[in-house]
Structure 1
Amino acid sequence: MATTADIQPQPRGDGKVHGEAPRGNQRLALGDRTNFEAGQVKIEGKPPVQITRRITRSFHAQLLANAQKNNVNPVLVPGVVDKVAHNGKCALAKKVTKKAIDEDVIVTSSDEEKEKSVNRCKQVQGSRKEVKTLTSILTARSKAMACGVTNKPNEQIVDFDETDANDELAVVEYVDELYKFYKLEEDDSRVGDYLDKQPDINSKMRSILLDWLIEVHRKFELMPETFYLTVNIIDRFLSRRMVTRRELQLVGISSMVIASKYEEVWAPQVNDFVCLSDYAYTGDQIRLMEKAILEKLEWYLTVPTPYVFLARYIKASISPDDEMKNMVFFLAELGVLDYQTTIWYSPSMIAAAAVYAAHCTLKKKPLWTETLKHHTGYSEEQLRECAKALVGFHLKAAESNLKAVYRKYSKPEYGAVARLTPAKSP
């Protein structure tokens, strides 16, 4: 059996020998050093004492207290490391400097001592006096002002589509996306100032034609969508082809024939339009013009007219009554009848301005809500100019030579809203 003396140090792969003491600046690896290996206390005049327990902060303080009591100067061997870990984290090492010794002593704190050290650090940090800079003061004031603004109660946007959740025709899941698409597409179906290119007709002739078509529309009891699509077809065709004064009424009749076929379930016959035009045109002439219009417009009839937006914006008014609905349609038709209004303002703005002007006329409070602003995309300031124009048309409707709209909305079936006092100022 081999003795201790017979065991020779075995060389390692790096050329060093196991068990060989470190030389010079060579330091032991962290895994080879423990508190048990280096935990010695040197006291002057006495042999070193071997320590058999881990050196924690509390134990280190106890050693210092005992040394001071015996009037000796203890020195802990530097480089003591505790490898105890808690929750996968190594224990926190901290340098403790003794006033009488210039050498740093590393002491490992145990888990019990961590809380005390954290609390002590908090007390030290809290004792420092805060220096307030101008930037911090201004930032604090800005936050206080922002909190004051946000704390104000904001009007909530009402989900008026909730009642139609079970109505498949209301397409509640897609309605918001549909109207976003309409807002993007409405500019493509708008026309510019085309009357400069029409030497034989003017804006007054256009108004006379539309005034007559309103009467025809009422006679056939057509849908509102049909009238607004008729106006759109007329304007787009006149912007692409020169028309004589003799053909203008023919363009109007043929446009309403197209719109009726597109919107109505039971569209009027061509012969019915011939009769209403007092036989000014034959059926063949109407069909030829109908074909010319469709070719010029490239069969593009699915356009967002003011009615598309009127239906949505009236609903956004939250439980509007019949008087409100009739007033909105009355103001919108007055706006469409005017050439400048149709050219200057988009269909969505005319519809939104009609709703706003109706609120002003009927003195509905509030005049404009967050729900309407959200769904229309317009504020009161943006609508005020167009609304003033619509109120001006209402003010002059009773004395105008073109009374088709006024007569229509003066009847009891429309609540006689045309006879109501116009709004003073939108």
Structure 2
Amino acid sequence: MASRPIVPQQARGDAIVRGGKQQQEQKKNGAGNRKALGEIGNLVTVKGVEVKPNRPITRSFCAQLLANAQKEAAAENNKKQICANVGGPAPHGVAVATKRVAPKPAANKNVTTKPKPAVVEVIDISSEKETPKDKPVNKNKKEADGNSKKKSHTLTSVLTARSKAACDLAKKPKEQIVDIDAADVNDELAAVEYIEDIYKFYKLVENESRPHDYMNSQPEINEKMRAILVDWLTDVHTKFDLSTETLYLTINIIDRFLAVKTVPRKELQLVGISAMLMASKYEEIWPPEVNDFVCLSDRAYTNEQILVMEKVILDKLEWTLTVPTPFVFLVRFIKASVPDEQLESMAHFLSELGMMHYATLMYCPSMVAASAVFAARCTLNKTPLWSDTLKLHTGYTQEQLMDCAKLLVSFHSNVGNGKLKVLYRKYSDPQKGAVAVLPPAKYLLREASSVSSGSTH
């Protein structure tokens, strides 16, 4: 037999008395058994919530309480979802009114009614009075603080601005780089697509074909003899009406040959004639013949001697004639200077003066060309003396060109005083702007005199 749980029994007298009193009170109030006992044990926990029932706890009543709790939880979830869809949780000062249809109580235990979904109506009510917490004062204050931090200037920027203002640099507009090749886009001979690469290559190889200091290795030749030879070749070049490229290549061949071969004084003019013959064959369409040079030299040399010297020079130079002379750089730098005819003639005059003097040989061809343009602008008082466009295309600053430019201006100041006056006559022609008769650049002469006086002291 199954064992029954032992239930502690109460005294019969107490139970009868208490039960009778309860029935009498219930009949008086008409409430039946709905009055709950006031003991702690009558509290029922449904889903973690303590519920105080007002009727005796039975299985069916407990199931009904559980169903009601689940319905309330579902309604609460619907309410939260609708608030979230509207714009999140309702802020302070906005009331959300809900209208919920309560489910009907179950009449019979067997009949189950499906609860209708709760209908929620959201009503925004803007409160007239805002509490201090809702005021956007703090938010605006944070934004103002953030903007003030962004607008605050560092000490470095303040000092830089003051320095520019003190030097009157803040008011000066930024100089624009001039596109010097824009006008030659449709000119196929200008090779605008390749011009920058060509001059980058010239810059890389200009020192490879540059002659070194050779006067100490020539026992019978000095700087004055070389200047006389160049002056005479310039006159020959003018009489033959040869291109400027031919004259520059002739001087380059002479210097490179004298740097590798010892030449007696009586053959120096022969070297010059052969070098101009080679340069003419390289640069000119109709070069002069050998007999023309024999006649110009007053038959000091024969045809055979000129041709033999030509072979010797080519052998020593290893047939390398494609070299960047100062002329190829000068043409580009003059174009970057946006010149007039007078400025162009002055730059060529100063460059040829430098080519005639041996002291200029210590500078590379691109620096000689850039210095000639700079000295020409100083001589003609052009403003600015050196622009950002020139700095870009030459690769030199004004300070880097000062020494070479002073040297060229010093040659200009003495050009009409000596015996070598071919260049002076050539550039005194009005067709070339008569630039040789113009006074040299006073600015560079003052700089040169100050440097020389400082070195003597």
TM-score w.r.t. the length of structure 2 is 0.66
Return the letter of the residue paired with 2:139: Q
- What letter is aligned with 1:338? H
Task: Find the counterpart in structure 1 of residue 154 from structure 2.
Answer: 140
Q: CA deviation at 1:275?
A: 0.5
Quick one: which amino acid aligns to residue 344 of structure 2?
Answer: K
Change (3 A) 1:224 1:41: farther
Deviations 1:234-287 (A, max 9, x none): 011111111111111111110000000000111000110011011111010000
Q: Are 2:193 and 1:177 aligned?
A: no
Identify unmatched segments of 5+ residues in structure 1.
1-39, 66-118
What is the match of residue 326 of structure 1?
Answer: 345
1:102-113 maps to which residues of 2 (within 5 A)? none
Specify the code of the residue in structure 2 equivalent to 1:126: K
Structure 1 Cα separation of the partners of residues 315 and 349 of structure 2 = 33
User: Which of 237, 255, 258 matches 1:235?
Assistant: 255
Give the match for residue 387 of structure 2: 369
* CA distances 1:321-347 after superposition (whole Å, capped 9, x unpaired): 2211111111111111111112x2111
Which range moves more in the overlay, 199-208 or 137-146? 137-146
* C-alpha spacing 1:129/1:403, structure 2 compared with 1 (3 Å): closer
Q: Which amino acid aligns with 2:226?
A: R
* CA shift in 2, pair 1:381/1:45, >3 Å: farther
Q: Does 1:126 find its partner at 2:142?
A: yes
Choose which of 402, 410, 417 in structure 2 pairs with 1:392.
410
* Among 307, 312, 323, the residue aligned to 1:292: 312
- Which AA in structure 2 matches 1:296? K
Q: Distance in 2 between matches of 1:323 and 1:181?
A: 30
Taking the aligned partners of 1:264 and 1:125, their CA distance within structure 2 comes to 81
* Distance apart, 1:184 and its partner CA: 0.9
C-alpha separation between the residues in 1 aligned to 2:144 and 2:184?
63
State the percentage of identical aligned residues: 53
C-alpha distance in 2, partners of 1:124/1:227? 78
Runs of 4+ in 1 over 3 A off after TM superposition: 40-49, 54-62, 122-125, 127-130, 136-139, 141-152
For the residues of structure 2 that align with 1:251 and 1:347, how far apart are their CA atoms? 22
Show the counterpart of 1:18. Answer: none
Tell me how far apart the structure 2 counterparts of residues 352 and 129 of structure 1 sit (CA, whole Å).
55
- Tell me the equivalent position of 1:189: 209
- Listed one character per residue, the Cα deviations across residues 343-368 of structure 1 (whole Å, up to 9, x for unaligned) are x2111111111111111111112211
Correspondent of 2:438 among 415, 420, 423: 420
Shift of 1:129: 7.5
Q: Structure 1 residue 400: deviation in Å?
A: 1.6
Q: Partner of 2:350: helix, strand, or coil?
A: helix
CA gap of 1:58–1:355, structure 2 versus 1, over 3 A, is same
Label 1:43 to 1:222 Cα distance change in 2 as closer, same or farther (>3 A).
farther
Task: Determine if the alignment matches structure 1 residue 274 to structure 2 residue 271.
Answer: no
| Paired amino acid for 1:365 | T
Q: Which amino acid aligns with 1:142?
A: T
Amino acid at match of 1:408: K
Cα distance in 2 for partners of 1:173, 1:418 equals: 37
1:32 paired residue number: none
Q: CA deviation at 1:385?
A: 1.2
Structure 2 spans left out of the alignment, 5+ residues: 1-46, 54-64, 94-134, 445-457
Shift in Å, 1:305: 0.4
Amino acid of the structure 1 residue aligned with 2:155: R
Match of 1:193, SS state, is coil
